[in-house]
Amino acid sequence: MSLEQDHVRARFARAAGRYDALADCQREVGTHLAELWMRLVSQDTRGPILDAGCGTGHGTHLLGRCWPGADILALDFALPMVAAVVDTGQRLCADMESLPLASSSMGGYWSNLAMQWCDSRRVAGEAARVLRPGGWLAVSTLGPGTFAELRQAFAGVDAHRHTLVFPARQAVAAAFTGVGLRITLEQRSLLRHYPDLGSLLAAVRELGASRVTGAGRRTGLMGKVAWQRFAANYEALRQPRGLPLSYDVFFILGQR
Q: How far apart are CA 77 and CA 79, in angstroms?
A: 6
Q: Which of 9-18, 149-158, 163-172, 189-198 has the highest mean pLDDT?
A: 189-198
Domain definitions of the chain by residue range: 3-146+165-195+207-215+246-255
Q: In angstroms, what CA-CA distances link 125 with 76, 92, 178, 186, 247?
A: 17, 19, 8, 20, 25
Q: Which one has a higher pLDDT value, 89 or 108?
A: 108
At residue 213, the 3 state secondary structure works out as coil
Confidence of residue 19 (pLDDT cuts 50, 70, 90): low
Q: How far apart are CA 248 and CA 91, in angstroms?
A: 29
Q: What is the mean pLDDT of residues 245-254?
A: 96
Q: What is the mean pLDDT of residues 209-219?
A: 46
For 154-169, the pLDDT digits (tens) are 987 876 667 788 999 9
CATH number of 3-146+165-195+207-215+246-255: 1.10.10.10, 3.40.50.150, 1.20.1730.10, 3.30.1490.100? 3.40.50.150
pTM of the predicted model as reported, rounded to 2 decimal places: 0.85
Closest to 24 measured CA to CA, from 140, 191, 151: 191
For 54-78, the pLDDT digits (tens) are 988 999 999 998 888 889 999 998 8
Residue 88: what pLDDT? 78
